[in-house]
A and B are shown apart, each in its own frame.
Chain A
Amino acid sequence: MSSPSPIPPPNDRRSSRSSSSAAPYAGDGILVGGPPGSPSPLALRASNSPSSRRRHSRIVKTPPEFQSLDYVSAPDSNLVCLICHTPFDKPVQLSCEHYFCRECLDHAWAPQASGRKTCPTCRNKVETDKDIRPVPKIIETMLDELVVKCPNTKAGCTWTEHRVNVNDHVMLYCEYTPVECSGTDCRLQISQKDFHKGCLHYTVSCDDCHASLMKKDLEEHKRNICANRKTSCALCSVEVLRLDLKSHINKDCPKHVISCQGTIVGCKFTAERAEVVLHEVNCAMATMAPHFREQQARIERNEARMEPLARKVGILEDGLTNITNMLYPANSNDQSFPVTDPLDPNDTDPQAPTPDFRLPPASFPPVPPGNEGAPTQPPFDSQVHHLLTLHDSLREEVSRIANALTDLDGRTNMMIINESQRAKDEMLHANAAISSLRMHLQWLVSATIHQRTTSAGSSPAKTAGSTNVSAGGSSATRATSARPGPSATLQGPFRRLSDSTRQDTKL
């Protein structure tokens, strides 16, 4: 008795192919060798492409018919429908308390005019919908629990179970449910379990009786039909199916010579199976064998898990070496490096570039002194590994250069900014100086004009003007942006000049 397995039914595999492509399949009609109707080599190669399956976009299975089910024991006559003579399938109850399958009743009523339906058993009139009632729950439970055989029993299925499960079994789990053959040009049916084997609808001949039959029926033939299907075991002369001979010798034959199960622990006992079985009852090593086997399996599992871990560690160590080498670029070829263990960055070193950054010591031994030139590297376990490490270190290098470049760039920019700022300042100074000079010049010019127009009458005013000029000039040179002195001290004609001065300083 097999219970439904949790493995998804094989037809799920192809659910994604449900969209059937209309593209014509190139291999159609080309059959090169092989059994007739079998996929051509081309077809085989393309057999996974959706187009080659366009006819088989869905596996169509027929649900089991309850009326054809085979019951393990004769069902109670009270549970049998009088119309179909099988246990009820979705039964209903009429007002006269006669029970029928809903479907049988519909069949029986088909020829009767509506409104004149009668109970097939007692001929009482039935008011269609009102008089049809569900059957008691217990009847349904009893029906559900009837034990049936799988409808594919003839094909080889051994499933027997409650009837309520038969639909699921056939539609989902049964390996023997007939489905459409996967052969491109084949429209026959095949057991679900053989679906992936391609088309088996070609003729072969049985090796044992020379009957010719379809390939798909060969196993069934060899198991149940072939006249020459039995043979006797050469060792124990028990009669077995030829098909089962190998498994008989390997598993059952009492005369086959095998060794004690404890052989993996050291038991040297070897004899015919029957004797070995007796021996194993008392053999301590045979008792221990299963535990040992289990341990062995566990060790193997762990070893398999360790390999990728070891590789990972190797790569990490290389990365670490690169980091270490970068932090102490001198350690590989500079003998004067003061650190006692060049690979232990935790040694206090006043010159360490990052004194507060602590690295664990590298796990591989330091290079022996005198081995100059060669950078410290652990042995590489493969070329790929080497390349990976190389790649890593190059990447480090590139990023370091990139960092340095950015750094440099920033510094240059700063320098340029500072420089231009200073130039600007100097220019301002120069401008201020020029404008004050210009003022002095204008003042002098206007003074000269004034002198000429008033003629040479008043000499004391002339001396006062000259002293004012010297005082105003000195103050102007001192103040760069302040209002120039002369305009404050001298009225009238200089008013306009002060405006021009302001304009100049704006330059």
Chain B
Amino acid sequence: MFASKRLGKELTKMHGKLPPGITLVKADDFQTWLMDIQVIDSNPIYQGETYRLKFIFSGNYPIEAPEVVFLKDDSHPIPWHPHIYSNGIICLDLLDRQGWSPVHNVESVCVSLQSMLTSNTKKERPQGDDNFVRYNTQRPRDISFVFHDNQV
């Protein structure tokens, strides 16, 4: 109830104007939305690529953080980043139970991810990516990441 009202507001606002490099792809219901982001300035790692984000909202959004992952398909790769696993799971304090705040929204999450990519210079995956991708069965929001690196 709370979620659908809030998402309705966000949707109307996003239909109006969005920051450059962020586009709304699909928002047919108040459970799953698809967003595309591009890195605007010329970072060679992300040049010319579009990444697709999947938002999954619980009924308690925005009190609870949405689940945000990158989706991989033919035209949308998973961006290289030391905090983004190759299965699309993102390790960002903003999306963690502790780091989330209800003042954030879909747009601000997209902007944060966009700037996270923009400032990145390392074309690498997190440590233990292979193992994590192979053995993880938890949902992203239930994983407790250790935010070891605050520069990125």
Contacts and interface: CB of A to CB of B under 8 A. Distances in A.
Contacts of A121: 101, 103
A85 B9 contact: yes
A395 interface: no
Contacts of B5: 67-68, 84, 86
A159 B13 CA distance: 25
Interface string A168-212: 000000000000000000000000000000000000000000000
Given A67-B5, A107-B63, A111-B63, A83 B102 contact: yes
B103 A120 contact: yes
Nearest to A110: B63
Contact of B101 (A67, A68, A110, A120): A120
Contacts of B101: 108, 120-121, 123
- Most chain A CB within 10 A, of B2, B9, B101, B103, is at B103
B105 interface: yes
A85 B105 contact: yes
A348 to B, nearest CB: 96
Contacts of B64: 111
A433 interface: no
A82 B102 contact: yes
Interface string B62-102: 11100000000000000000000000000000000000011
A104 interface: yes
A108 B9 CA distance: 18
The interface size bin for chain B is 10 to 19
Contacts of A82: 102-103
Contacts of B2: 84, 107
A14 B133 CA distance: 66
A316 B28 CA distance: 83
B123 interface: no
B98 to A, nearest CB: 10
Interface string B10-45: 100100000000000000000000000000000000
B122 interface: no
- Most chain B CB within 10 A, of A83, A107, A123, is at A83
Interface string B105-124: 10000000000000000000
B105 A108 contact: no
A289 B121 CA distance: 88
A85 B63 CA distance: 13
B150 to A, nearest CB: 15
Interface string A101-113: 0001001101100
B10 A85 contact: yes
B122 to A, nearest CB: 28
Nearest to B2: A107
A98 to B, nearest CB: 9
Contacts of A85: 6, 9-10, 13, 105
A304 to B, nearest CB: 57
A80 to B, nearest CB: 9
A108 B2 CA distance: 12
Contact of B62 (A68, A83, A110): A83
Nearest to A108: B102
A120 B105 contact: no
A124 to B, nearest CB: 12
Contacts of A110: 63
A74 to B, nearest CB: 9
Interface string B44-65: 0000000000000000001110
A104 B102 contact: yes
A83 B103 contact: yes
A108 B6 contact: no
Contacts of A104: 102
Contacts of A111: 63-64
A86 B9 contact: yes
A108 B104 CA distance: 12
A107 B101 CA distance: 11
A123 B98 CA distance: 11
A69 to B, nearest CB: 11
Contacts of B103: 82-83, 120-121
A18 B88 CA distance: 60
A107 B102 contact: yes
Contacts of A123: 101
A107 B63 CA distance: 7
Contacts of B13: 85
A120 B13 CA distance: 21
A120 B108 CA distance: 14
Nearest to A123: B101
A83 B6 CA distance: 8
A86 B5 CA distance: 10
A126 B65 CA distance: 21
A120 B10 contact: no
Contacts of A108: 63, 101-102
A107 B62 CA distance: 9
A108 B102 CA distance: 7
A329 B2 CA distance: 93
Nearest to A81: B103
A103 to B, nearest CB: 10
Contacts of B10: 85
A83 B10 CA distance: 11
B107 to A, nearest CB: 11
> Which 4 pairs, one residue from A and one from B, show the smallest C-beta to C-beta distance?
A82-B103, A85-B9, A83-B102, A120-B101
8 contacts: A67-B5, A83-B102, A84-B9, A85-B6, A85-B9, A108-B101, A110-B63, A120-B102
